[in-house]
Amino acid sequence: MEKKSSYPRDYQQALDNKLTPEDVSKLLKKPGCAPRFVYGVLMLPTVLKHYLDTPQTESLAKQMTRATLQGHKLYQIGSDSTPVMLPSSNPQDTVEGMLIFGLDADQRNAIYEEESGLMELVNVQATITQVDGMLQRHVILSQRVVDAGAFVWVGSQEGLIPMDKNAWPVDGFLGSQFYENICLSRRTSMMELREKFVGHLLGDSL
């Protein structure tokens, strides 16, 4: 997936984020927190927080890292639509997305409500890159396969448009009114929270 300086800062942080083996093992051991592989709008932390109803100040990017899924392919319902994913008969086909760790049951249910309908939650194995350490100022990286859940398309395949890329470009969505409305909603929530906090401080000082 491409990283651009024009992308939202939290999305850039998620794209850059690499976990250590210890971090991954610790997150995987948390009960009821199976990771989710996402490849559409939920790759954007601000959108993810919107659907999870998580405060904008919470850094979900720290729980996210790039991931690759083998044997799957992206499609679109229309030229400007968000992507859907299907298993592929070609094992060389891949889908690039983000793996989200540490989601509790309520948060995973929120994603289910957003993605279900013509999508089905299936078990997949996603490959991530983790940071093993440093050697003479060089970062040592390794790959790790992680069991996760992901949503695949189960609706009619008639009319689906195969994508010629293995990662969905977010640029068009970032310029959409829908994304702007989400950002506006998040900013409004932060302002309301800040006003409540200031009001609480002023009330305590009286």
Taking residues 38-59, report their average pLDDT: 91
Taking residues 29-36, report their average pLDDT: 90
pLDDT at residue 33 in the model: 85
Strands (E), 49-116: 64-70, 72-76, 83-87, 94-100
pLDDT classification of 68: cutoffs 50, 70, 90:
very high
Residue 44 lies in a domain: yes
8 A C-beta contact, residue 189 and residue 118? no
pTM value is 0.88
Q: What is the CATH number of the domain that holds 164?
A: 3.10.490.10
pLDDT at residue 198 in the model: 43
pLDDT at residue 72 in the model: 98
Residue 2 lies in a domain: no
Residue 205 lies in a domain: no
Residue 4 lies in a domain: no
Percent over 70 (pLDDT), the chain: 91
The sheet carrying 161-162 orders its strands as 83-87, 72-76, 161-162
HSE on the CB side for 88, CA within 13 Å?
18
Residue 197 lies in a domain: no
Residue 83 lies in a domain: yes
pLDDT at residue 98 in the model: 98
**DSSP bridge pairs for 129:** 143
> Residue 103 in 3-state DSSP?
coil
Residue 116 lies in a domain: yes
Q: How many domains does the chain have?
A: 1
Q: Which has the closest alpha carbon to 69: 48, 33, 111, 98?
A: 98
Range of the domain at 37: 9-169
pLDDT at residue 4 in the model: 94
Q: pLDDT tens digits for 113-169?
A: 988 888 999 999 999 999 998 888 888 999 999 999 999 999 999 999 999 999 999
Higher pLDDT, 54 or 125: 125
Residue 3 lies in a domain: no
**DSSP bridge pairs for 144:** 128
Q: Residue 44 above 80 pLDDT?
A: yes
104-108, Cβ contacts within 8 angstroms, sequence gap of 24 or more: 104/32, 104/33, 105/32, 107/52, 107/54, 108/34, 108/36, 108/149
pLDDT at residue 204 in the model: 52
Q: pLDDT tens digits for 154-168?
A: 999 999 999 999 999
